[in-house]
Every structure is written in C-alpha cells, then in structure tokens.
C-alpha cells in the first residue's frame, strides 16, 4: 500500500493528537474521581468513627493501622480454633419471654471482631489487677461468699484480684439515697457510688474496681438494678440485697450462685464486653431474678474469645482452674460444663 496523501497524514496526525489529549484528560478525570472518592471515604470513615465513639461514651476506637495489627495478631487463629472446638457445647439464645431483658431492650450484641475493633479496656503493662471494694457491713457468711467471689473472678479472668478493706455507708449522702416509694426499701444511687466513691479511689494499676454492698441499688430511674458499671472509668458496683438468704444450706447455694453470676457479668462489662444476644451466656442481660437464675455462669464461644484475648488467658488452663473451683464449691452443673469444655480443647 502507498503512503497516505499529505491531507490524510495531517488528519491522521490530528486524530492521534486528539486521542492522546483525550487519554490524558481521561487519566486526569480518573485521578480526580479517585481522589474525591478517597476523600469522601475518609470523611465517611471519620464520621462513622465519631458516631461510634459517641455511642460508646467516648471510648477511643482503633486506627486503621492498629486494626491491621490486630488482624495479624498471631494468637487469633488458635483462639478461633479453640472457640470452634467448644461450639457444639453451647445453645443459641432462646426467644425472650415477655418480661425478659431482650423483650424490653433491643440490643444487637457484639462479635469478637467488633470487640477487637472497639479498643476495649484490658490488662496492660500498667493495668494488672482487679480490685473488690466492699461498702457497708457484711455478716461472716456474706464475707465468706465475697472471698469466694474474688477467687472465682481471678480464675475466670486469669488475673489477680485484691479484696480491699470495707468502706462505710456513711460516705453516701442523703441525696444519693432514697426509700422506694412502694416497697419501702432503702436504696443507694449507683451513679454516686461509681462517680464519687470508686473513681477517685481507683488504684493506678486497676484494670477495674468493683464495689459490692448489702444495700439495694437504683440507677436514678427504674425500680432497682443488680449492678451497674462504667466502662470508660473502669468502675462498677453490684448488690447482694436481692440474692436471698445466705445462711440456709439450699438458700446459701442459690445466694452464692446469683452473686457469682452478677460479679462475672459486671466484670465482663469492665473489659468492654457488652450484652450477648447470640447464645445462652453469662453476658446475657437479666431483667429479674428468674432470668438471672436461668442464665448460665459460663461464657459462649463468641464472648469467651474476648476474655482469652484480652486477658492473655490459656484456654485449657483456664477451664482446668474453673473446674477445680466449681468442684470445691458445690457448682455441679458448672463443673461438668467446664470439664467438657476443657476436654474438647484437650482432644
């Protein structure tokens, strides 16, 4: 084929130049689109972060780099395998009855992944132990139950627990007390205990300080609460008032079981674990004694990973120590369940 005519060469050159200009323009447009997309995504991510922080009461969430580091934590595959090994032992959360917690409060729960990304309060080089703070007077039997609770907490969360000297109820002023309008029971205001008694006295090395009292509690609304915690301030309080008689053989077992469940539950909140909605679990909410009694003392596969990870707990050793405690303290159902969990991990 011969060479194109001069006019044709000119048109071809112009077309090639135009194509080059279009390509350069398109590249610039694509770059600008990508830049604006990244900027929009960054704004959306920051907005999501701020809304999440607001929802969590100001708890600092992790940055993208910190999340990436967590996702490459070498412990996670082993924890995931351990959770899978005990999965068949656990029961999915039953539909709530009319007066149950989830019938009154709509909650979505918390996966292990969501827990990791929430930057929860947990032990560190500076924060090394839990503290139990009695408030008020305790009988000999009540004091013994509190000491047993401290031992269980240490085994359950794989951390030292120190029992502090009791504080007097005289520290709580009249404006932080009330007489219940129908029942006539004296109640203490939980927010005063958290903000004005525990937070100023919290030791520097405390992962959390948990107060317990024989007085009834109310949170400024509702009739009463078994306990209440502040994740941001690492303090919590719970009451022995509604657990029944500590002195009779059968009633003592029920009293101790209720005390143990609420102590474990409130301490879980101190580590940033929110109410579980996926399984029958120690971290289920409870709206009364009947629901509290029906909730198990053990953690589900989702929530126990949070404790294994946050407290650097060895899963098998933790179950061994829990079985030992349960066998020594007449917790027959718990001893059997924790033994099955231990055996599932030993296989």
237, 176 Cβ separation under 8 angstroms: no
What phi and psi, each to the nearest 5 degrees, are found at residue 210? -120, 120
pLDDT of residue 311: 97
Res. 119: pLDDT tops 70:
yes
For 312-334, write each residue's pLDDT tens digit: 999 999 999 999 999 999 999 99
Q: Write down the CATH number for the domain with range 64-346.
A: 3.40.390.10
Listed in sequence order, the residues at least 6 apart from 292 whose beta carbon sits closer than 8 Å to its beta carbon are 226, 258, 261, 262, 286
Is 25 a residue whose pLDDT tops 50?
no
Q: Tell me, what's the pLDDT at 64?
A: 58
Q: Which letter does DSSP use for residue 103 in this model? A: H
Radius of gyration for the chain, computed over Cα atoms and rounded to the nearest angstrom: 28
Q: Considering the candidates 32, 148, 266, 324, report the single residue annotated as catalytic.
A: 266
Q: What are 228-270's pLDDT values in tens digits?
A: 888 788 999 989 998 888 887 778 899 999 999 999 998 999 9
The mean pLDDT value for 28-46 works out to: 42
Distance of CA 297 to the CA centre of its chain: 15
Mark whether 280 is an active-site residue: no
Higher pLDDT, 151 or 241: 151
CB 82 within 8 A of CB 347: no
Residue 15 pLDDT greater than 80, yes or no: no
Q: Helix and strand tally (H, E) in the chain?
A: 13, 8
Domain coordinates of the chain in residue numbers? 26-55, 64-346
**Which residues does 250 contact at the CB level (< 8 Å), separation at least 6?**
none
Write down the pTM of the prediction: 0.78
Average pLDDT, the chain: 84
Residue 212 has pLDDT above 60, yes or no: yes
- Residue 13: pLDDT band (50, 70, 90) is low
Q: Residue 68 has what pLDDT? A: 63
pLDDT at position 128 is 96
Mean predicted confidence (pLDDT) in 18-43: 45
Task: List, for residues 48-81, the tens digit of each pLDDT value.
Answer: 433 433 333 334 455 656 666 666 788 999 999 9
What is the C-alpha separation between 111 and 76, in angstroms, rounded?
A: 14
């Amino acid at each position: 084929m011969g060479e194109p005519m001069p006019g044709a060469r000119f048109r071809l050159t112009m077309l090639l130049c135009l194509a080059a200009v279009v390509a350069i323009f398109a590249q610039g447009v694509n770059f600008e689109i990508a830049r604006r997309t990244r900027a929009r995504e960054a704004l959306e991510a920051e907005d999501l972060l701020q809304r999440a922080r607001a929802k969590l009461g100001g708890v600092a969430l992790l940055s993208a780099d910190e999340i990436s580091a967590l996702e490459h934590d070498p412990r996670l595959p082993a924890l995931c395998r351990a959770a899978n090994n005990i999965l068949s032992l656990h029961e999915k959360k039953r539909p709530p009855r009319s007066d149950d917690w989830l019938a009154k409060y709509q909650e979505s729960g918390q996966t292990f992944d969501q827990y990791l990304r929430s930057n929860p309060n947990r032990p560190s080089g500076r924060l090394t132990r839990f503290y139990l703070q009695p408030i008020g007077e305790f009988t000999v039997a009540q004091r013994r139950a509190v000491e047993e609770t401290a031992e269980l907490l240490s085994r359950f969360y794989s951390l030292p627990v120190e029992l502090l000297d009791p504080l007097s109820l005289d520290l709580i002023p009249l404006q932080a007390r009330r007489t219940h309008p129908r029942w006539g029971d004296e109640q203490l205001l939980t927010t005063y205990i958290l903000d004005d008694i525990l937070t100023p006295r919290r030791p520097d090395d405390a992962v959390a300080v948990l107060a317990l009292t024989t007085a009834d509690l109310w949170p400024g609304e509702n009739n009463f609460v078994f306990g209440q915690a502040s994740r941001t301030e690492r303090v919590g309080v719970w009451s022995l008032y509604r657990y029944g008689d500590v002195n009779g053989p059968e009633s003592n077992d029920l009293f101790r079981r209720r005390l143990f469940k609420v102590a474990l539950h409130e301490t879980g909140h101190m580590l940033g674990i929110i109410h579980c909605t996926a399984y029958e679990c120690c971290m289920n909410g409870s709206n009364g004694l009947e629901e509290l009694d029906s909730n198990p003392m053990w953690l589900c596969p989702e929530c126990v990973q949070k404790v294994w990870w946050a407290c650097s707990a060895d899963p098998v050793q933790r179950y061994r120590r829990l079985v030992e405690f349960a066998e020594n303290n007449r917790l027959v159902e718990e001893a059997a369940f924790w033994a099955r969990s231990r055996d599932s991990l030993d296989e």
